[in-house]
Each structure stands twice: as structure tokens, then as C-alpha cells.
Amino acid sequence: MKALIIVDVQNDFLPGGALAVPEGDRVIPVINNISHRFPVVVATQDWHPATHMSFAVNQPGDKKAFEQGMVGGIRQILWPVHCVQGSHGAELAGTLNQEPVHAIIRKGINPEIDSYSAFFDMKGKNSTGLDGYLRSRNVDEIYVSGLAADVCVYFTIMDGIRLGYTCYLIEDASRPVEVEKGDYKKAREKMQNAGAHIIESSVLGSI
Ligand code: VGL
Ligand code: ZN
């Protein structure tokens, strides 16, 4: 069974948002064009408390957004405040067609640790429930779309492969944030080397 995963298509990741992904809005018509064809559709939301430690402002010292820092013992990029629970920025994009979306999985709720992947937090310990949801519907192939291609989409695909799913990245339905130039090229190679299939939405046909 095939599932479409729509990763973090939220206002804060669109142009004008708090953590804008260049051309992030371009993924929406592509996703709207394919979502109704999948038997299972799950959307995710980055859903942080205002106290989240991935926000540079919540770090000790004079940390700035896009610098490296420690969150829950893991070195990662620190971010501007984004996707705060209940805020407009955390809402799914208004033009994303939610009719075909069966379930919404929220992640990044624990203030002490980040959760890029739709499956697990950064330590790979706490599950979001997505794996169980997909298994209960006999999903064995996941088609991943959304934002950002080099952050949450990337981590979702790498976990998906580890969990045994056949993974597809729908490249025209995703965009990278590229905090450093070349981040997406590296992420793309790692996904491919791990066994992910990189496709365009035009090859999907009628699923
Ligand atoms: C994301 C940075 C911080 C993403 C989430 O959805 O790719 N990126 N939080
Ligand atoms: Zn986040």
C-alpha cells in the first residue's frame, strides 16, 4: 500500500514566514494535484512550544539563528522562532487541500529535543506514532513531499528507509532551505545512497 507524506507545509516555512524556505509555496499546487490519488495521506506539523531549545533565543549565551548549537545533547542548527503551537505560522498552508489528508502527525513538542523526522525525535527514541499508523494500514511504500528537502524531508526519508519502507522523494513537491549552500546536494546523495528513489510527480500517473 502506498502513502503520501506531506511534511511541514506550514505558513512559517513559506515565503514571508518566520523560517521561509525559498519557493516553499511552489510545492502546494504539486501536492494538491497528486494527494487525492493516494490511498493513505498523512500530513505533519512542526509543533513547538515557545520554550523550544532549537530556537536560538532560548539558548544560553548570545546565540543567533542559523548558528550551530546544542539541543538535547545533539549538535544542530539553531533556528528563529517558528511553528509555535497554535500560532498562524504553525498552521498548514491555507491553499493546501486538506480534504484528502487522513491524519496529521505533530512533532517537535518536547522543548528539550528537536524532531526533524516525521517518525522519531533526533535521538531516534521517541516515536511520533507515524510508523504504527502506516503499518496498521499496510503501507510499505512512502512518497515524501513538503519542506524542507534538506532537513525534515531528508530525516523522514532516512528513517523511512531504516524502518523498511520503500521510499520515494517527489522532488518537484519539495524544496530545500539550504542554510549552507550545497546542503541539498549532500542530502540528496545520502538519500540516494541509502536507497531512496528520487522522482518527479509527473511519473506518478494514476497510482
Ligand atoms: C524544519 C527547521 C526547523 C523543517 C523544522 O520542517 O524542515 N526545519 N524545524
Ligand atoms: Zn522546527
Residue corresponding to grid cell 486538506: 98
- Active-site residue list: 8, 107, 152
Nearest to 6 by CA among 33, 36, 45: 45
Task: Please tell me the distance from the alpha carbon of residue 16 to that of residue 32, in angstroms, as a whole number.
Answer: 21
* Ligand 1 atom index nearest CA of 148: 7
CATH number of 2-48+92-206: 3.40.50.850
Task: Please tell me the distance from the alpha carbon of residue 102 to that of residue 107, in angstroms, as a whole number.
Answer: 17
Atom 3, ligand 1: residue with shortest CA distance? 79
Phi, psi (degrees; rounded to nearest 5) at 194: -75, -10
Looking at all shown ligands, the one closest to residue 45's CA atom is 1
All residues at 6 or more sequence positions from 202 whose CB lies less than 8 Å from its CB, including other chains: 172
- Overall pTM surpassing 0.85 (yes/no): yes
Q: Is the CB of 53 inside a 6 Å radius of any atom of ligand 1?
A: no
Residue by residue, pLDDT tens for the chain (207 residues) are 999 999 999 999 999 999 999 999 999 999 999 999 999 999 999 999 999 999 999 999 989 999 999 999 999 999 999 999 999 999 999 999 999 999 999 999 999 999 999 999 998 889 999 999 999 999 999 999 999 999 999 999 999 999 999 999 999 999 999 999 999 999 999 999 999 999 999 999 877
